[in-house]
Amino acid sequence: MRALRLLPLAALAAALAACADSTEPVPDTPLIPGRFVATFQGGLGGTGEGRATLFDLGRTGTPQLWMELRDERVPEANTLVRFIVRSAGLTVGTHAVGGSAAENPVDAVALQFPNGAATADVHYTGFTGTVRVEEVSEAGEMVGSFDVRSGSLHAKGRYDALPSF
């Protein structure tokens, strides 16, 4: 009889476990190439989704790569998260964000444009955390995730970034 009473409790525990928050920032479904999805907590708040683009700025000197995640949901007041890679590129693996170029080649900034796309009125710098690269294609497409913080701001998401030509 006691075993019969424990069965509903076990079923309830399993159902609650299935509803618990995932450790992933967003559902683990494939992204359309050239897109990102994210959650922002703190200063920017809410969700973000939009264009994920890689810019190779090292063509004329020091290697540098920007990965720009531009939230396009409200074009005139968007949010931009930019990862600045002060090296030839990012390889598959997990890379720390923040610190000096000597410590770590990856840095990040976040900008918010609440009053129009011409002026970034809110700036976040001094990020720490990680950028994870899951795969890099021969064409330069980069797929992965990020989890970074700067003060009260926490940005976490996934990207499928395409190179800008």
Low-confidence ranges of the chain (pLDDT < 70): 1-28, 45, 58-64, 77, 88, 100-102, 114-120, 165
Domain ranges of the chain: 25-163
- Residue 48: beta bridge partners? 38
CA dist., res. 162 & res. 165, Å (int): 9
What's the pLDDT at 2? Answer: 41
- Give, in degrees to the nearest 5, the angle at Cα 125 between 123 and 126: 160
CA dist., res. 109 & res. 114, Å (int): 16
What's the pLDDT at 16? Answer: 35
Cα atoms found within 13 Å of the Cα of residue 80, Cβ hemisphere only: 23
Give the strand pairing for 46-56 and 35-41: antiparallel
DSSP character at residue 68: E
Percentage of the chain modeled with pLDDT above 70 = 68
pTM of the model: 0.73
What residues contact 82, with CB distance under 8 A and at least 6 apart? 66, 67, 68, 69, 108, 109, 110, 111
Element (H, E) at 14: helix 2-19
